[in-house]
Structure 1
Amino acid sequence: MKKYDVFVIGSGMAGMTIANKCASKGLKVGITDELPYGGTCALRGCDPKKVIIGATEVRDFAIRLKDKGIDTVPNVNWRDIMAFKQSFVDAMPPKIEKGYRHNDIDTYHSSAKFLSKNTLQLGTDTIEADKIVIATGAKPRVLDFEGGYLALSSTDFLNLKELPQSLLFIGGGYIAFEFAHIAARCGADVTIVHRGKRPLENFEQDIVVHLINATKELGIKLVLATEVSKIEKRDNHYTVTGTTDGKEMTFRTETVFNSAGRPPAIFDLELDKSGISFSKEGVAVNEYLQSASNPNVYAAGDAADSKGLPLTPVAVMEGHIVASNIIKGNTKKVSYPPMPSVVFTLPTLAAVGLTEAEAKSQKIEYQVNYNEVGNWFNAERLNVKEYAFKTIVNKEDHTILGAHLIGPNAEETINLFAIAIKTKMRIHDLRTMIFSYPTLSSDIPYML
C-alpha cells in the first residue's frame, strides 16, 4: 500500500491546482486521471472549442462586410482548423505531467474507487491518504431512451475528422448552441431539439430571444418542447424520434450529438464505501469545500455541489481554497465573486450577476435598462443585426446587480461589468469614465 499526505482524483484545472500547491509546501502528493492529464477545458472543451470558433469568426466577419470592403468570403478548411486545434491539445498532457514530476508528485493513469474513508483502489494499486480530493469534473448525461447510446458526445464533435453534412443536437444548452453555430457556419445542415419550451433557461430570456433570432437566421432549425424518445441507425443515417404535445415526429440526420447536460463524474467512485454524502449535484461540501460527512475528503470544481458555476476559473479558485485548507487547516471559506458566463456563439451572449427574476425573488428594489441597439455606431460599423443589453440596477445604492449582453465583444465587455459589480461601483462613476473610443466597451455608459 502506498501512502500520501494528499491524493487527488482528477487532473483538470482544480485537481492540478491542488496537487501542485500542496506539493510546493512539502506534502507528499499523488494524482490520478483515467483520461489524459489536462481536464475537459484544455483537452475536450473551452480551449479547443475556442480555437475552432476562431475560424468561423473570420468567415462571419467577412460575410458581414461583404461588398463593404470585402470581396471574397473565405471557407473554413475543417481538416486544417482541426489540426491547428490538435496542436494545442497534444501539447498539454506531457507539459502537465512534466510539471508534476518537477514537483515530485506521483502520477497514475487509472480510474479510482473508494475502499474506505481514506483508501482508494487504482487498478492494482491500493492508496492510503490523509486527505483525498475529488476533482473529477463532469461528463455527458446518459441518454436512457432507446438508442441513446448512439449519440456522440461533445468530445466526439471536437475530434471530427470530417464535418458531417447534417447534425442533430439533443438539448438546448450552451454546448448545443455553440457547436451548432460552428457547424452551420462550416456549411452543415443543423437541428437542435430541446425538451423545454425555452432554450438556455439559465440566461436572461430577453437576451436569449436575440440569439434565437440569430440562430434561425443562420439556418439552424430550433425545435422546442420536444422530448426525444428514440434514435435508430438506418444505413448511412440516423432517425431521431421525438414527441411534441403528444404527437410523434421524426428527424433524419447523418450524426446525432448528446448535448443534454453534464452531471458530475462521481458516480463510479463507490462513494458509499467512504461515507461521503452526495447527490446528483455532486459531493456535498461545507463552506471549506470539505465533505459534509467525511472530513478526510474535499471536493472542487464540477464534482462538488458548491454554489460556483461550472466554469474553469471557478474550478481554479476552488482549487486554491481546498489546497489552502489542507495545508493550513480549515481557515479559508469559499466566497464567490461575480462569475461571468458566456455562450460563444456568433453573436456572443454573455451574463454576470442577477437576472431580473433573481432580483425580484430577493425582493430587491431594482431598475431595468433594456434596449435593442442595432442602430448604434458599433453595431453599424460591424454590420451586426443582433446587439442588445439588459442591465439591472439597485435603486437603493445605484450599483449594478446584473448585466446581460448579446453582440460583438460581449465576452470581453462582460468582464468590465463583473469588476463593477464586485467593487460595488456606482453607475454614476461608470457613466463619467473615459473609455477608449470607438470600442465596444465605450458603449457601457449608455447601458446604465
Structure 2
Amino acid sequence: MKYDVIVIGSGMAGMTIANKCAKKGLKTAVTDSRPYGGTCALRGCDPKKILVGAAEIIDRANKMKGIGIQGDIFINWQDLMAYKNDFVAKIPKGVEKGYEKAGVDMYHGAASFESENTVRIGKDLLEADKIVIATGARPVTLDIPGGDLPIDSTDFLNLEELPKEITFIGGGYIAMEFAHLAARGGSKVTIIHRGKTPLENFEADIVKHLVNATEELGIDLHLEWDVVAVEKTDNGHAVKAASKNGEKTIQTDLVVNAAGRVPELDDMNLEKANISYSKKGIQVNEYLQSESNPSIYAAGDAVASKGLNLTPVAVLEGHAVAANIIRGNSKTPDYTEMPSAVFTLPTLASVGMTEKQVKEIGKEYRVKDGSVSNWYNAKRINESTYAYKVLSDNEGYILGAHIIGPHAEEMINLFAMAIRGKLTVSDIRNMVYAYPSMGSDIGSMV
C-alpha cells in the first residue's frame, strides 16, 4: 500500500500530524502498537492528574482541619481507580473517530522499517513519501540484579490496591508526583535517588522548598544513594542501595521504577532506513527532519531535540512537522517559553531559564525571590510552602520564573505569556488583576 504520509505513534504529536496531513488531502496512515491515544492521555498526564485531584482534596482538608474543617476523609483507591479507568477507556474510540472523520487509514501494530521509505506492520508492507516517527518514550530499563522486579509508572496508574509501603527508584517528576500521591493515600513512602537533589533540571532554590515539604509529609528521601539490587522476599521486596557512606537494605511491599524514560525506538530496524539516532532519540535538523534520511521526520519524546519531554512540546513539534510535510520545510518549533509543572503538593512550576543557565550564557540579570507563606493567598488556606524566584535582564524582560505553591501550574502560564508577549517587569507590575486571585500575586514577584 502506498501513502503520502505514514505516522508511527498515536500520541499527541502523531495525532496532530496525521489529522492535519489528511485534512490537507494527503493520503495518510497511522499505526500504534498500543490503543490509540498515547502516553499522556492513557498512561500519563491525564490519568495521573485525576488521581492527584483526589490527593489535593485530602491535602486541602488536612491543612484546614481544626480551623473550619472537622472529621477525617480518605482516598477510596478502588473507587478512584474505577473513575480513572472509565475516563481512560473512552479515549481510544474518540481518537479513532477523529481519524475516521479526517480520512486517516488506521493500523494497529508495531512498525519496523524495511527500507528508507517502507515499513512493515504485521503482514502489511506500507510505502510512503514521508514517514514520521512519533513513538514517544518508555521507562528506562534497570540494569541491576532484580531490575525486572519493580513496576513502572503505567503499572502504578493501574494498581488495584495501594500498598502500605512503596519505594520509588529515582528523583524525577514521576517519582516525586507519585510519592506525594501515595503518601496522601496512606502509604509509607521511600524515595531513593542517586543525585544530590531531586529534579535536577529545575531551579535549585525552589526545589529545596519541595524537599522540605516532602520530608514534612513523612516521605523518606534518600539522596546520593544508588540502588544496586532488588530482591523478592516473603513479605514483598528488599531494595539494596549503596553510597560513599556504605550500604543499606530497605524492606518494602512494592518497588516502582521511576528512574527516567528513554525514546521508544526498540525493534524498529532504524538502520535499514538509514536513520541516525542516539540514546536521546532521532537525530533531526531544525525542521525535525532526519539528518540522514530526508524522507523521515520525528516529533515528541522520540526526538533528540531542544524541546522538553512534555505533551505541549510534542503538540508544538507535531504542528511544525505537519507544516513542513504539507508546504515544504519552512517551520521550526519555537521553544522560547516551555512552562512545566511537577504535580506534587504543593505544585512546583517553571518557565524559561534557571539561574544556573543564565550564568552559563554570561548574561547580566537581576533576581527577585522569596518565601512568601505570609502572603494572603497562602495564609487563607493555611499553606506553609509558597515561594518564587524570577530572573529578568537589564531591560526588564523575564528570563525565567519559578514558583512552588498553590496553583503554581496556573500562575506559570502567566509568566509564559509574558515571555512570549515580551512584557517587561514594568508591564507586569502595572497590570490590573482580579483580586483575590493567585494570579494577582505575580505583580509582586517581579
State the TM bucket, normalised to the shorter chain: over 0.9
Map 1:18-417 → 2, pairs under 5 A: 18-245=17-244, 247-395=246-394, 397-417=395-415
Q: Percent of aligned positions with the same letter in both sequences?
A: 58
Deviations 1:224-257 (A, max 9, x none): 1011110000123100101011511101010000
1:160 is aligned with what amino acid?
L
2:11 is aligned with what amino acid?
G
- Aligned partners of 1:374 and 1:386 also within 8 Å: yes
Deviations 1:289-346 (A, max 9, x none): 1001100000000011111111111111111111111111112122223000100000
Give me the TM-score of the superposition, normalised by structure 1.
0.98
Deviation at 1:102, TM superposition (A): 2.2
The answer to which of 63-72 and 97-106 deviates more is 97-106
Q: Secondary structure at the match of 2:151?
A: coil
Q: Secondary structure at the match of 1:332?
A: coil
Aligned counterparts of 1:218 and 1:200: Cα–Cα separation in 2: 18
Give me the TM-score of the superposition, normalised by structure 2.
0.99
Q: Secondary structure at the match of 2:256?
A: strand
| Backbone CA RMSD of aligned residues | 0.9
2:214 is aligned with what amino acid?
T
Deviation at 1:76, TM superposition (A): 0.8
Deviations 1:378-427 (A, max 9, x none): 111110111100010102x1111100000001000000001111111111
Aligned counterparts of 1:296 and 1:165: Cα–Cα separation in 2: 51
Q: How many residues align?
A: 446
Aligned counterparts of 1:49 and 1:153: Cα–Cα separation in 2: 13
Select which of 413, 428, 431 maps to 2:429.
431
Q: Secondary structure at the match of 1:230?
A: strand
Deviation at 1:442, TM superposition (A): 1.0
Q: Which runs of 4+ in 1 moved over 3 A?
A: none
Aligned counterparts of 1:433 and 1:104: Cα–Cα separation in 2: 46
Could you say which residue in structure 2 is the equivalent of 1:418? Answer: 416
- Aligned partners of 2:355 and 2:391 also within 8 Å: yes
Deviations 1:60-110 (A, max 9, x none): 111111111111231111111111111210010011112212222111111
Could you say which residue in structure 2 is the equivalent of 1:443? Answer: 441
Deviations 1:84-143 (A, max 9, x none): 111210010011112212222111111111111001111111111111000000000000
Aligned counterparts of 2:314 and 2:327: Cα–Cα separation in 1: 20
- Aligned partners of 1:59 and 1:73 also within 8 Å: no
Deviation at 1:428, TM superposition (A): 0.9
Aligned counterparts of 2:383 and 2:47: Cα–Cα separation in 1: 26
Question: Unmatched 5+ residue regions in structure 1?
Answer: none
The answer to which of 322-331 and 96-105 deviates more is 96-105
